[in-house]
Chains A and B, each alone.
Chain A
C-alpha cells in the first residue's frame, strides 16, 4: 500500500516567540483510508490541515502530499488539485454567486478546457445530489446543501485526498448525516482518501483510524473502537467518549451486564433490547 500523505518530524509555531502549535508530528495516511484527526478546540487541528495542501509550508520537518514535497513552490498548484479541502463555515468558502459557478471555480483556476469543465461540473453536481439547484444562489441553500456544494467543487477537481476541516460542525444533525453519507460514498466509489478533522467524537466513529491531537502533539492512535471506548484517556485530551459508550459504561457501573464490545448507538440499543434480567 502506498502513502497518500506523509508528515515527518513536523514542528510549527506561528511566530518566532510564540509557543509551538505543532510538536513533532509523524503521520502517514495510506491510499483509500478514512483518517479522523480528533482534538479539542485550539489543539492545532486546522494548523496541521493547512500543511497537507501547502497552505502552510514546514520550516522544521517535512510533508509529502501525493508524492510531492510541499516545500517545492512549483508543485503547489498540483498539490492543491490533488488535495481538496472543505472548511467549517459553509458561508465563507463559497466564492461564486451561483452553485454551478462555484463548483467550477477550482476548475477555472486549474485551467481546465471549457467542454471538460462543463462535463465535470454537472457530473459533480449530480453526484452530490444537487441536481436542479445549479443556478441557485448560495444564500438560498441549507447548510448541508452548501457543504455539498463545497464537496462538489472538491470532487470536480478529481482529487486523491479530501480534507474536511470540521466541515460538519456548523450543521444540524440532518445536514451532518447528509454530508457524511456523501463523503462515505465518494470514499467508496472513487477511492478518495479522506482526512476528516473534528472535535466531535460521534463523527469520529465512522473512521478507519483515529489519531488524537492534544496541545499540538499526536497522543493516541488506533481504530475508533480502541480509542473511543477509553473515556479516561480521552479526558486527558479534553475529549469524552461518544454518548453510547458513556451510557454503556454507566450501566455497567450499576451492575447491568452490557457486553464489553458495545460501541455504536445501534449496538447499545441491540444490547438493551436483548438484555435479560438475571435477578
Chain B
C-alpha cells in the first residue's frame, strides 16, 4: 500500500511559506488571470513581467526545484514539441539554417522560444498551485468561487461534494484494484503476456469486480450520508472557513496590473 500513500495529498508539499498561507480563492483567481492574459501579448516587457511574477512566486513558495522537475518531465516533452513545431512551421524573418529540405527562419526561432517560455511559465504557476494547496482547500476555494454561478443553477455545492468524495475514494479504489489484481493473479491470470488484445481482455476480470464493488460502495455511502442528516447544501454550515487577507488582495491586485499591461501592449 506504500505506493498509494500520497495519492490524496497528491503533489502537496507542506512548507511554511506565504504562498502556502494564501487563500485558495486568491491562488485560483491569480492562476486564472495569468492563464487568460499570458497569451494576450508577446511584447518583451509583458514577458519579462510574467517571468518576474512566476519567479517571485516560485522563490516565495520555498518548494525545492526537484518537486517541479518530478511533475514536469512529461510536460517538458510537450513544450519541446511545441517549440519544434513552431520552429519548422513559421516562415517569417531571415533564414537561419538551410540544410537539404530543412529551413529554419529567425521568426520560427523567436516564435518557438516565446511559446515555449510562456507554456513553461504557465505550467510552473499551475504546479505551484497544487504544490502549495491541499486538495481540500482547493475544493473549498473552487466551491466559493463558483458560488455566483448558483444564480444560473449550476449545482456548485454538489460539484464540490463530488470532488471531495472522489478525493476520499481514489486511494480506496486504488487499494482495491491492487487487491483484485493480486487475487486474479493468484488464480492464474496473467497481465503481461500475449498480444495487446489479450492483455486488454485480461483487464476485464479486474474491471468487473471493481465496478460491482464501487456500486455497492456508492449505495452504502448514500445511505450513510442520509443517516448522517445530509440533505443538500441548504442550511449547511462549514467546518472549514477560508480567510481572505491583505496579502491575497495584494496578489490579485498585482496580477490585475499584469492583465492590464498585457492588454495595453497588445492594443497600443
Which A residues form the contact surface with B (CB < 8 A)? 50, 53, 55, 77, 80-81, 84-85, 87, 89, 91-98, 100-101, 104-114, 117-118, 121, 137-140, 153, 157
Contacts and interface: CB of A to CB of B under 8 A. Distances in A.
Main DSSP-derived SS at the A contact region: helix
B254 interface: no
Nearest to B236: A108
A258 B219 CA distance: 49
Given A93-B220, A93-B221, A139-B175, A55 B226 contact: yes
B150 interface: no
A94 B169 CA distance: 9
B224 interface: yes
Contacts of A153: 228
B229 A140 contact: no
B64 interface: no
Interface stretch (B42-50, B80-88, B122-130, B160-168): B160-168
B229 A110 contact: yes
A117 B237 contact: yes
B128 to A, nearest CB: 22
B194 interface: no
Interface in B66-94: none
B3 to A, nearest CB: 12
Given A80-B228, A91-B217, A107 B223 contact: no
Contacts of A81: 229
Interface stretch (B183-191, B203-211, B238-246, B260-268): B238-246
A109 B223 contact: no
Given A97-B136, A114-B239, 4 more contacts: A55-B223, A80-B228, A114-B237, A140-B5
B229 A80 contact: yes
Interface in B167-204: 167-168, 171-172, 175
A95 B168 contact: yes
